[in-house]
């Protein structure tokens, strides 16, 4: 299973992971296309100032996004980072609600309170979008602690980047998860850069599977440019974690084609390196493979892409047409009311909830 590629080199092979049935393979391709088209449009909306704040695109990493989501049961939990639009979409969140969140609208998945970094969909067990590097790691382990405590068979898939493996909480949490035998899979989306610092410059140990092993968490590596290989690796890890009640780390080797965020002159890498990795673009490569295996034809693939574009068109239209949050809603949601809190402000006197 492990892909042993030399550091810095592009994994050289075409997608070769196990292909599922036709319907599933086609759906994976369609979802990768949706994620790609969604993020391209989000980038355009950002340059038109429809989207504010930070916008981190995962273009190039779609195989990891979709492979991860398709390794889970509906009852499992997925928690991601600040680069998480795709995870929500792959989990089934309406693209309109994700786009509306980027637009800061009241119909957004977090009501316009969270923005790009804090997409959230409890109904689909997509547990966020988290803005602080590494901040989601113990929280994901906390979801797994809940599963362990209640003795149910849910697994948590906790996504982090290569940069997050340098945070103290990475070491703290992996140690705890191993000690307490928690059903959590840590998926390290290794796109080779912590913002603009390459992995060789940010981590003394660049083999991130080894980093996890040093903390008591077994791991494996997969080709993150191949959705089928990624899905297989994560799926295996998730099922081992579920059956044996222990944490596992999966390192997915991938690359982002765009900058870290929208404001990134990309001085830290060469155009040649980007072009080299683009040869491994997970979408055309998986498309070619499905065509070669007779699962879709060229027209069928083009039709899937058109459908993705149409979905994104509808999402933008929905976001554009949605209302801004009402001014009087500014304080809504800070506190859960009714218990020890009866008003919005610290100065509000306690009131009888019945009155």
Partner 1 sequence: MSEIRYREAVGRALREEMLRDENVFLMGEDIGVFDGAFKVTEGLMDEFGEKRVRDTPISENSIVGMGVGSAMLGLRPVVELMTINFSLLAMDQIVNHAAHIRYMFGGRVSVPLVIRMPQGAGNQLGPTHSHCFEALYLHVPGLLVAVPSTPADALGLLKSAIRDDNPVIFIEHETLYQEKGEVPEGEHLVPFGKAAVRREGTDVTIVGISRMARTAERAAQILEDEHGVSAEVIDPRTLRPLDLDTILTSLKKTNHCIVVEEGWPHGGVGANIAALVQEHGFDDLDGPVLRVTGADVPMPYSKSLEHLAYPHEPQVIEAVLASLGRKAPA
77-79 and 197-198 strand pairing: unpaired
Our finding on whether 339 is near partner 1 (CB under 8 A) is yes
**According to the binding rule CB under 8 A, does residue 245 interact with partner 1?**
no
Contacting residue, 5, 26, 175, 261, with partner 1 by CB under 8 A: 175
Q: Which stretch binds partner 1 (CB under 8 A): 45-53, 122-130, 220-228, 241-249?
A: 122-130
Q: Which is nearer to partner 1, 28 or 170 (CB)?
A: 170
Q: Which long-range contacts (CB under 8 A, 24 or more apart) does 125-129 make?
A: 125/74, 125/75, 125/76, 125/77, 125/78, 125/91, 126/78, 126/80, 126/87, 126/88, 126/91, 126/93, 127/77, 127/78, 127/79, 128/79, 128/80, 128/84, 129/80, 129/81, 129/82, 129/84, 129/88
Decide: is 354 part of the binding site for partner 1 (CB under 8 A): no
Query: Applying CB under 8 A, does 297 fall inside the site for partner 1?
Result: no
How far apart CA 274 and CA 151 sit, in angstroms, is: 46
Say how many Å lie between the first and final Cα of the chain, rounded. Answer: 63
Rg of the chain (C-alpha set):
21
Q: Does 20 bind partner 1 (CB under 8 A)?
A: no
- State how far the Cα of 60 lies from the Cα of 85, in Å rounded to an integer: 13
Q: How many residues sit in the footprint of partner 1 (CB under 8 A)?
A: 52
Nearer to partner 1, 43 or 135 (CB): 135
User: According to CB under 8 A, which one of 7, 349, 354, 355 is a site residue for partner 1?
Assistant: 349
Confirm or reject binding of residue 113 to partner 1 (CB under 8 A): yes
Distance CA 346, CA 175 (A): 39
Q: Say which residues have a Cβ less than 8 Å from residue 176's Cβ, sequence separation at least 6.
A: 138, 141, 182
CA 137/CA 169 separation, integer angstroms: 7
Q: Does 145 bind partner 1 (CB under 8 A)?
A: yes
Of 254, 157, 253, residue with least CA distance to 207: 253
Q: For partner 1, which residue of 33, 137, 188, 199 counts as binding (CB under 8 A)? A: 137
Least separation, in Å, of the C-beta of 10 and partner 1? 35
Q: Is 118 in the site for partner 1 (CB under 8 A)?
A: yes
Nearer to partner 1, 93 or 220 (CB): 93
Per the listing, tokens 């070769």 go with 16
- In whole angstroms, what is the distance from residue 321 CA to residue 178 CA? 48
Q: Which of 114, 212, 224, 247 binds partner 1 (CB under 8 A)?
A: 114
Is residue 122 a contact residue for partner 1 (CB under 8 A)? Answer: yes
Residue 299 contacts partner 1 per CB under 8 A = no
At its nearest, how many Å lie between partner 1 and the CB of residue 298?
Answer: 42
Instruction: State yes or no: residue 132 binds partner 1 (CB under 8 A).
Output: yes
CB of 179 to partner 1, least distance (A): 7
**Six token digits for residue 188:** 């390290």
What distance in Å separates the CA atoms of residue 265 and residue 244, rounded to the nearest whole number? 45
Query: What is the residue whose two structure tokens read 């190039």?
Result: 60
Of the residues 141, 160, 301, 316, which one makes contact with partner 1 according to CB under 8 A = 141
- Contact residues for partner 1, defined by CB under 8 A: 77, 108-114, 118, 120, 122, 127-128, 130-132, 135, 137-146, 149, 168-169, 172-173, 175-176, 179-180, 332-336, 338-343, 346-350
């Amino acid at each position: 299973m492990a892909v042993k590629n030399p550091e810095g080199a592009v994994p050289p092979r075409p997608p070769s992971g196990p292909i599922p049935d036709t319907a599933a393979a086609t759906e994976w391709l369609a979802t990768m296309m949706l994620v790609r088209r969604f993020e391209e449009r989000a980038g355009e909306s950002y340059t038109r100032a429809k989207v504010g704040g930070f916008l981190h695109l995962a273009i190039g990493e779609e195989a990891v996004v979709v492979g991860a989501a398709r390794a889970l049961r509906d009852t499992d939990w997925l928690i991601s980072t600040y680069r998480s639009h795709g995870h929500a979409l792959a989990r089934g969140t309406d693209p309109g609600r994700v786009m509306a969140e980027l637009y800061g609208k009241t119909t957004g998945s977090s009501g316009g309170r969270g923005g790009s970094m804090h997409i959230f969909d409890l109904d689909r067990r997509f547990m966020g979008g988290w803005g602080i590097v590494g901040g989601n790691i113990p929280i994901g382990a906390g979801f797994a602690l809940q599963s362990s405590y209640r003795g149910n068979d849910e697994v948590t898939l906790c996504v982090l980047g290569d940069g997050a493996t340098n945070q103290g909480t990475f070491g703290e949490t992996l140690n705890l998860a191993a000690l307490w035998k928690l059903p959590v899979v840590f998926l390290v989306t290794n796109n080779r850069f912590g913002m603009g610092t390459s992995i060789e410059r940010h981590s003394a140990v660049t083999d991130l599977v080894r980093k996890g092993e040093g903390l008591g968490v077994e791991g494996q590596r997969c080709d993150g440019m191949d959705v089928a290989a990624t899905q297989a690796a994560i799926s295996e890890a998730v099922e081992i974690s579920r059956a044996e009640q222990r944490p596992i780390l999966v390192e997915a080797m991938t690359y982002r084609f765009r900058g870290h965020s929208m404001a990134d002159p990309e001085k830290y890498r060469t155009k040649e390196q980007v072009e080299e990795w683009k040869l491994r673009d997970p979408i055309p490569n998986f498309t070619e493979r499905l065509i070669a295996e007779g699962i879709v034809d060229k027209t069928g693939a083009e039709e899937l892409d058109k459908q993705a574009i149409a979905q994104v068109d509808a999402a933008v239209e929905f976001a554009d047409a949605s209302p801004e949050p009402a001014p009087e809603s500014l304080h809504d949601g800070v506190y859960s009311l009714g218990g020890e809190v009866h008003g919005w402000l610290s100065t509000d006197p306690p009131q009888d909830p019945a009155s």
